[in-house]
Amino acid sequence: MTIKKITEINITGKRVLIRSDLNVPIEKGVIQSDARILASLPTIEFAIKKNAKVIIMSHLGRPKEECYTKEYSLFPIFEYFKKKFNYTKIYFSDNFLEDVQLNSGEIAILENTRFNKGELDNHDKLSKKYSNICDIFVMDAFGSAHRMQSSTYGVGKFVKVACAGLLLINEINALKKALKKPKRPMVAIIGGSKVSTKFNVLNKLATIADTIIVGGGIANTFLAIDYKIGKSLHEPDFIFEAKKLRDKYNIIVPIDSRVGENFCKNEKSIIKLPNNITENEEIMDFGDKSIEKIIHILKQSQTIIWNGPVGVFEFPNFRKGTEMIAKTIADSHAFSIAGGGDTLSVIDMFNIKNNISYISTGGGAFLEFIEGKKLPAIHMLEEHFKKQINN
């Protein structure tokens, strides 16, 4: 894979359109986690230091196309940037389909790309409008690199110069380090609600990792191979596929679980073996014996890939499994890479971000890269590189 990097291009005085991933949780106008914003800053800061005219665009949430709603506005992120970049002029534009006038070293934050007609469908008309407001397009939103949309992919068809930002390059390098020649033993922890959404990544990791630890609804589907698991979240249609994986590879399934009768915050937890779970109970976390076994495995590992919590960590009584695994990874000397929205929430909850080797901003992109899929945005950058070589 060969792509042009922002550090290899003269951007001084140029209109540089950076597609960042500023899709952060916002409640009543207040940013709840700035992890993705912080990850995007190095590319933006580099462009400012090079005296470029910096234009930043991103999506936020899932608004209805062409329907402005305050809930999905990037204005709170503009307010955040004003405080962060108090040494330079910064503007907010809610109509950026016309030219954006900036001086060198100034910043414009553009309104949510998903308010624009044609964004999700990758319409050429919108993609051309994006390309018309810049001299150089910088793709830096790894979390959206798997989406073929106007602001992530289509714009690349019409700009003369397209390159990768610092975050995108770091994401690719970190994932390659974990997947290509990992130090062993290599352990993958895959949690979450549905095995169907992560079945391909489980298949791929099973051929790379020495051990796979499954948690959440995914683990429940594996448990359902041999046990009745009450009303626990699982996918009956995937039990047969799960069995084939379990029988072929080293997949660690919980040997005991924390269960409750009601899915609510204050529900008390009871630890049970899988063969003792009643029809009115549901599994919501690992039990202590499972936690002890997994901690032992993690302490021996040299590479750890972590995607997803192993229980309902939002509920205090069903948090222990996720918490103990998270803290063990943080204390480990292994090269650790973590990704996925819920995983980022766990990292924030236990304040361990400085103890993870690399935190990926991607969710779907993180998983698709691990599966070995070609991400559309990266493919677009590769095609641009080829054109530049041929010209």
60 is in an annotated binding site: yes
- What does the alpha-carbon distance between residue 111 and residue 70 come to, in Å, rounded to a whole number? 11
23 is in an annotated binding site: yes
| Annotated active-site residue in 287, 308, 341, 362 | 341
Q: Is 364 an annotated catalytic residue?
A: yes
The helices-and-strands tally (H runs, E runs) of the chain is 12, 17
Look at the block and give the residue holding tokens 């993690």: 298
Q: Is 36 an annotated catalytic residue?
A: yes
Which runs of E-coded beta strand occur in the chain? 15-19, 26-27, 30-31, 53-57, 90-93, 107-110, 136-139, 161-164, 186-190, 211-214, 251-252, 257-260, 270-272, 282-286, 303-307, 335-338, 358-359
Q: Is 321 an annotated catalytic residue?
A: no
53-57 vs 90-93, strand pairing mode: unpaired
| Annotated active-site residue in 128, 289, 364, 373 | 364
Residues 75-84: contacts with CB under 8 Å, at least 24 apart:
75/29, 76/26, 76/29, 76/30, 76/31, 77/22, 77/24, 77/31, 77/37, 77/109, 78/109, 80/31, 80/34, 80/37, 81/56, 81/107, 81/109, 84/41
Q: Is 194 an annotated catalytic residue?
A: yes
Look at the block and give the residue holding tokens 């409008």: 129
| Annotated active-site residue in 14, 36, 319, 320 | 36
121 is in an annotated binding site: no
61 is in an annotated binding site: yes
Coil, strand, or helix at residue 41?
helix
62 is in an annotated binding site: yes
Look at the block and give the residue holding tokens 């997803």: 308
| Annotated active-site residue in 194, 293, 327, 373 | 194
Q: Which letter, b or e, does each residue of 294-320 get, where b requires 16 or more Cβ atoms within 10 Å of its Cβ?
A: beebbeebebbbbbbbbbbbebebbbb
258 is in an annotated binding site: no
340 is in an annotated binding site: yes
Which whole-number Å values give the CA distances from 261 to 218, 267, 284, in the listed order? Answer: 19, 8, 10
296 is in an annotated binding site: no
314 is in an annotated binding site: yes
Task: Please choose, from the candidates 201, 155, 190, 195, the residue with its C-alpha nearest in 3D space to the C-alpha of residue 15.
Answer: 155
- What does the alpha-carbon distance between residue 155 and residue 139 come to, in Å, rounded to a whole number? 10
Task: Please choose, from the candidates 215, 211, 175, 370, the residue with its C-alpha nearest in 3D space to the C-alpha of residue 300.
Answer: 211
123 is in an annotated binding site: no
22 is in an annotated binding site: yes
**Contact between 184 and 302 (Cβ < 8 Å):** yes
343 is in an annotated binding site: yes
Instruction: Please report, in range form, the residues annotated as the binding site for ATP.
Output: 198, 314, 340-343
- Residues within the annotated binding site for (2R)-3-phosphoglycerate? 36, 114, 147
Instruction: Show binding-site residues for substrate.
Output: 21-23, 36, 59-62, 114, 147
Instruction: List residues with catalytic annotation.
Output: 36, 194, 341, 364
Annotated binding site: 21-23, 36, 59-62, 114, 147, 198, 314, 340-343
